Structure 1
Amino acid sequence: MTAWMRCHWDEEDVWFYFELDSQGWVTRQVEFQGPERVPVASLVEWQQARDAGRLAEYDRRFGITAQSPVSEWEGHDPQPLTRQGFEEVWDRARQQLAGDR
Protein backbone atom coordinates (compact mmCIF):
# COMPACT_ATOMS: atom_id res chain seq x y z
CA MET A 1 0.00 0.00 0.00
CA THR A 2 1.34 3.41 -0.96
CA ALA A 3 1.72 6.00 1.81
CA TRP A 4 2.64 9.68 1.90
CA MET A 5 4.30 11.70 4.65
CA ARG A 6 6.37 14.76 5.40
CA CYS A 7 9.17 15.49 7.87
CA HIS A 8 10.97 18.69 8.88
CA TRP A 9 14.70 18.92 9.46
CA ASP A 10 15.21 21.92 11.76
CA GLU A 11 18.99 22.18 11.39
CA GLU A 12 18.77 22.98 7.67
CA ASP A 13 15.16 24.25 7.59
CA VAL A 14 14.11 21.65 5.05
CA TRP A 15 10.70 20.04 4.60
CA PHE A 16 10.83 16.57 3.07
CA TYR A 17 7.76 15.12 1.34
CA PHE A 18 7.77 11.41 0.56
CA GLU A 19 5.74 8.86 -1.33
CA LEU A 20 6.48 5.36 -0.02
CA ASP A 21 5.84 1.94 -1.48
CA SER A 22 4.35 -0.92 0.55
CA GLN A 23 7.77 -1.83 1.97
CA GLY A 24 8.58 1.73 3.11
CA TRP A 25 10.98 2.60 0.27
CA VAL A 26 10.82 6.10 -1.15
CA THR A 27 9.40 6.22 -4.68
CA ARG A 28 9.09 9.99 -4.96
CA GLN A 29 10.60 12.73 -2.85
CA VAL A 30 10.41 16.51 -2.80
CA GLU A 31 12.39 18.86 -0.58
CA PHE A 32 11.64 22.50 0.15
CA GLN A 33 14.60 24.42 1.56
CA GLY A 34 14.79 27.59 3.61
CA PRO A 35 12.21 30.23 4.47
CA GLU A 36 11.46 30.76 0.76
CA ARG A 37 10.65 27.05 0.45
CA VAL A 38 12.77 26.59 -2.66
CA PRO A 39 11.90 23.20 -4.18
CA VAL A 40 14.50 20.53 -4.78
CA ALA A 41 12.83 17.44 -6.22
CA SER A 42 14.29 13.97 -6.14
CA LEU A 43 12.37 12.44 -8.97
CA VAL A 44 11.35 8.96 -9.92
CA GLU A 45 13.30 9.38 -13.16
CA TRP A 46 16.64 8.86 -11.36
CA GLN A 47 16.65 5.21 -12.43
CA GLN A 48 16.31 6.23 -16.07
CA ALA A 49 19.17 8.70 -15.66
CA ARG A 50 21.30 5.99 -14.06
CA ASP A 51 20.54 3.55 -16.85
CA ALA A 52 21.40 6.21 -19.44
CA GLY A 53 24.72 7.04 -17.74
CA ARG A 54 23.51 10.52 -16.69
CA LEU A 55 23.13 9.95 -12.95
CA ALA A 56 25.79 12.47 -11.85
CA GLU A 57 24.14 15.19 -13.94
CA TYR A 58 20.72 14.22 -12.59
CA ASP A 59 21.89 14.18 -8.95
CA ARG A 60 23.37 17.67 -9.31
CA ARG A 61 20.03 18.94 -10.64
CA PHE A 62 17.53 17.10 -8.43
CA GLY A 63 19.38 15.34 -5.62
CA ILE A 64 18.78 11.70 -4.74
CA THR A 65 15.99 9.86 -2.99
CA ALA A 66 16.43 8.33 0.44
CA GLN A 67 18.54 5.18 0.22
CA SER A 68 16.90 3.08 2.95
CA PRO A 69 13.34 2.20 3.94
CA VAL A 70 11.58 4.50 6.39
CA SER A 71 11.64 1.82 9.10
CA GLU A 72 15.44 2.26 9.32
CA TRP A 73 15.44 6.07 9.69
CA GLU A 74 16.39 7.72 12.95
CA GLY A 75 15.55 11.14 14.28
CA HIS A 76 12.54 11.96 12.11
CA ASP A 77 8.99 12.78 13.10
CA PRO A 78 6.84 11.83 10.11
CA GLN A 79 3.50 13.50 9.60
CA PRO A 80 1.04 11.58 7.41
CA LEU A 81 -0.23 13.17 4.20
CA THR A 82 -3.02 12.32 1.84
CA ARG A 83 -2.28 11.41 -1.74
CA GLN A 84 -3.89 14.69 -2.83
CA GLY A 85 -1.69 16.65 -0.41
CA PHE A 86 1.44 15.00 -1.78
CA GLU A 87 0.39 15.46 -5.42
CA GLU A 88 -0.19 19.19 -4.86
CA VAL A 89 3.31 19.59 -3.42
CA TRP A 90 4.81 17.38 -6.15
CA ASP A 91 3.10 19.34 -8.94
CA ARG A 92 4.13 22.71 -7.46
CA ALA A 93 7.76 21.59 -7.19
CA ARG A 94 7.78 20.15 -10.71
CA GLN A 95 6.32 23.38 -12.15
CA GLN A 96 8.84 25.56 -10.32
CA LEU A 97 11.76 23.35 -11.31
CA ALA A 98 10.61 23.21 -14.95
CA GLY A 99 10.66 27.01 -14.96
CA ASP A 100 14.32 26.92 -13.86
CA ARG A 101 15.43 25.03 -16.95
Structure 2
Amino acid sequence: MTTWFRTYYEDEGLWLYFEAADEGWATRQVEVRRQDSRPVTAASLEEVLHLRDHADLAAMGRYERQYDILAEGPMEGWQDQPEAAEISAEEFERLWTEARRVLGDSA
Protein backbone atom coordinates (compact mmCIF):
# COMPACT_ATOMS: atom_id res chain seq x y z
CA MET A 1 0.00 0.00 0.00
CA THR A 2 1.34 3.40 -0.93
CA THR A 3 1.72 5.91 1.90
CA TRP A 4 2.29 9.63 1.88
CA PHE A 5 3.88 11.45 4.78
CA ARG A 6 5.90 14.44 5.82
CA THR A 7 8.74 15.08 8.25
CA TYR A 8 10.77 18.13 9.14
CA TYR A 9 14.56 18.35 8.80
CA GLU A 10 15.41 21.01 11.33
CA ASP A 11 19.14 21.30 10.49
CA GLU A 12 18.31 22.45 6.95
CA GLY A 13 14.92 24.05 7.64
CA LEU A 14 13.19 21.73 5.16
CA TRP A 15 9.83 20.05 5.04
CA LEU A 16 10.28 16.61 3.46
CA TYR A 17 7.29 14.99 1.77
CA PHE A 18 7.39 11.39 0.60
CA GLU A 19 5.37 8.96 -1.42
CA ALA A 20 6.50 5.49 -0.35
CA ALA A 21 5.71 2.13 -1.98
CA ASP A 22 4.68 -1.06 -0.21
CA GLU A 23 8.30 -1.95 0.48
CA GLY A 24 8.82 1.38 2.24
CA TRP A 25 11.10 2.91 -0.42
CA ALA A 26 10.49 6.46 -1.61
CA THR A 27 8.93 6.60 -5.06
CA ARG A 28 8.66 10.40 -5.11
CA GLN A 29 10.03 13.10 -2.84
CA VAL A 30 9.38 16.82 -2.46
CA GLU A 31 11.38 19.13 -0.21
CA VAL A 32 10.20 22.62 0.63
CA ARG A 33 12.15 25.33 2.49
CA ARG A 34 10.28 26.40 5.58
CA GLN A 35 11.49 30.02 5.47
CA ASP A 36 9.97 30.88 2.08
CA SER A 37 7.91 27.79 1.12
CA ARG A 38 10.03 27.32 -2.01
CA PRO A 39 10.37 23.76 -3.34
CA VAL A 40 13.98 22.61 -3.71
CA THR A 41 13.47 18.91 -4.55
CA ALA A 42 10.96 17.02 -6.69
CA ALA A 43 12.58 13.69 -7.53
CA SER A 44 10.97 10.50 -8.83
CA LEU A 45 12.29 6.94 -8.61
CA GLU A 46 10.65 6.06 -11.94
CA GLU A 47 12.45 8.92 -13.67
CA VAL A 48 15.79 8.12 -12.04
CA LEU A 49 15.55 4.46 -13.07
CA HIS A 50 14.60 5.45 -16.63
CA LEU A 51 17.62 7.77 -16.86
CA ARG A 52 19.89 5.09 -15.41
CA ASP A 53 18.73 2.56 -17.97
CA HIS A 54 18.31 4.80 -21.05
CA ALA A 55 20.51 7.88 -20.72
CA ASP A 56 24.05 8.88 -19.92
CA LEU A 57 25.73 10.38 -16.86
CA ALA A 58 25.30 13.90 -18.23
CA ALA A 59 21.51 13.44 -18.37
CA MET A 60 21.49 12.12 -14.82
CA GLY A 61 23.56 15.12 -13.72
CA ARG A 62 21.09 17.52 -15.37
CA TYR A 63 18.20 15.77 -13.62
CA GLU A 64 19.90 15.99 -10.22
CA ARG A 65 20.72 19.69 -10.69
CA GLN A 66 17.11 20.41 -11.61
CA TYR A 67 15.21 18.10 -9.24
CA ASP A 68 17.87 17.03 -6.71
CA ILE A 69 18.19 13.42 -5.56
CA LEU A 70 15.75 10.90 -4.15
CA ALA A 71 16.20 9.44 -0.68
CA GLU A 72 17.62 5.91 -0.81
CA GLY A 73 16.71 3.01 1.40
CA PRO A 74 13.55 2.12 3.26
CA MET A 75 11.71 4.95 5.00
CA GLU A 76 11.56 3.03 8.28
CA GLY A 77 11.07 5.05 11.44
CA TRP A 78 9.73 8.15 9.74
CA GLN A 79 6.98 8.31 12.36
CA ASP A 80 9.63 9.16 14.96
CA GLN A 81 10.98 12.16 13.04
CA PRO A 82 10.14 15.76 14.01
CA GLU A 83 6.63 16.87 13.03
CA ALA A 84 6.00 13.58 11.22
CA ALA A 85 2.48 13.00 9.95
CA GLU A 86 0.67 11.09 7.25
CA ILE A 87 -0.75 13.26 4.52
CA SER A 88 -3.34 12.55 1.85
CA ALA A 89 -2.52 11.52 -1.69
CA GLU A 90 -4.25 14.71 -2.82
CA GLU A 91 -2.03 16.91 -0.65
CA PHE A 92 1.09 15.16 -1.97
CA GLU A 93 -0.08 15.59 -5.58
CA ARG A 94 -0.69 19.30 -4.98
CA LEU A 95 2.83 19.69 -3.55
CA TRP A 96 4.34 17.60 -6.36
CA THR A 97 2.62 19.63 -9.06
CA GLU A 98 3.72 22.93 -7.50
CA ALA A 99 7.31 21.73 -7.00
CA ARG A 100 7.55 20.57 -10.60
CA ARG A 101 6.09 23.87 -11.82
CA VAL A 102 8.64 25.87 -9.80
CA LEU A 103 11.63 23.68 -10.66
CA GLY A 104 10.64 23.31 -14.31
CA ASP A 105 9.34 20.11 -15.80
CA SER A 106 11.90 19.55 -18.53
CA ALA A 107 13.88 16.52 -17.34
Give TM-score, length-normalised by structure 1.
Answer: 0.85
Residue 35 (structure 2) aligns with: 35
Equivalent in 55, 65, 70 of residue 75 of structure 2: 70
SS of residue paired to 1:64 = coil
Consecutive unaligned residues of structure 1, counting only runs of 5 or more, are none
Compute the RMSD of aligned alpha carbons. 2.4
**Equivalent position amino acid for 1:48 in 2:** H
1:6 aligns with 2:12: no
Deviation at 1:87, TM superposition (A): 0.7
SS of residue paired to 1:71 = coil
Deviation at 1:86, TM superposition (A): 0.7
Deviation at 1:61, TM superposition (A): 1.6
The size of the alignment, in residue pairs, is: 101
Give TM-score, length-normalised by structure 2.
Answer: 0.81
For residues 72-99 of structure 1, give each alpha carbon's deviation from its aligned partner in whole angstroms, at most 9, with x where no partner exists.
66x7243100111111111111111228
SS of residue paired to 1:69 = coil
